Amino acid sequence: MSKAVLISIRPKWCELIASGHKTIEVRKTRPQIKTPFKCYIYCTNRGDTLYSVNGKVQPCNSFEINLKENSRVLELNGYVIGEFVCDEIIVDKHGENALLFENKGLVPFDVQKKYAPKQILYGWHISELKIYNNPLTLSDFIRPCCERVSDCGTCPKFDRENFSCTRMNTVTRPPQSWMYVEERKTGGNLM
């Protein structure tokens, strides 16, 4: 299996990603794996409630539920709601990409400065976005036994014949920002 990333994102940003308005996720750190890599979107419990109504992602305050006989309403907070491929990491050392992060990441310049006053910012470019029809739980993911990608080949729990880790390390808590996970062969059903 390949390394992937499970990233925690607040509901309002998940909504903007799902709608295609937000195409860069701005972070203080980045994974030490080569692009492209898969990212799984965990919708946090902090902030507004996010719903899927008949397959369309919506915040609770932007719609009135007109339930028809076959309406399907799912609460998305606390679930992995989709995935994307991070095909590029854009580095911002001295504000040279601040306008890009404002326009595509929807993070105003003053917020960027407050978020990381003297730090490098990284823009994770979102491509090949897929939102699941059936969200996944954290327990559907496995952490690699080695946090550093370079350690897997020398790890005693690594099965070289099947190129996989023999230690099961199921995710039980959401990441503070992001964490490495094993890439899944299949996601949830797509919307």
Report DSSP state, residue 33: S
CATH number of residue 18's parent domain: 2.30.130.30
Reported as a single tens digit per residue, the pLDDT across 114-149 is 888 888 999 999 999 999 988 999 999 998 765 544
On whether residue 153 sits in a domain, the answer given is yes
Separation CA 16–CA 35 (nearest Å): 23
Tell me the whole-structure pTM to 2 decimals: 0.82
Question: Could you give the number of structural domains in the chain?
Answer: 1
On whether residue 187 sits in a domain, the answer given is no
Cβ of 73: how many Cβ atoms within 10 Å? 12
Q: Residue 5 — pLDDT band, cuts 50, 70, 90?
A: very high
On whether residue 188 sits in a domain, the answer given is no
| Nearest alpha carbon to residue 147 among 107, 182, 177 | 182
On whether residue 102 sits in a domain, the answer given is yes
Separation CA 147–CA 115 (nearest Å): 26
On whether residue 191 sits in a domain, the answer given is no
Range of the domain at 159: 3-182
On whether residue 122 sits in a domain, the answer given is yes
Residue carrying structure tokens 């309406």: 71
On whether residue 190 sits in a domain, the answer given is no
Residue carrying structure tokens 């499970």: 6
Separation CA 61–CA 132 (nearest Å): 21
For residue 88, give every residue at least 6 positions away whose Cβ sits within 8 Å of its Cβ, in sequence order, or none: 35, 125
Give Cα 141 to chain centroid, integer Å: 13
Q: Output the CA–CA distances (angstroms, integers) from residue 39 to 87, 96, 189, in the order listed.
A: 10, 25, 16
For residue 113, give every residue at least 6 positions away whose Cβ sits within 8 Å of its Cβ, in sequence order, or none: none
- Between 15-19, 71-75, 95-99, 179-183, the lowest mean confidence (pLDDT) is in 71-75
Reported as a single tens digit per residue, the pLDDT across 98-109 is 999 999 999 998
Separation CA 103–CA 122 (nearest Å): 15
pLDDT beyond 70 at 177: yes
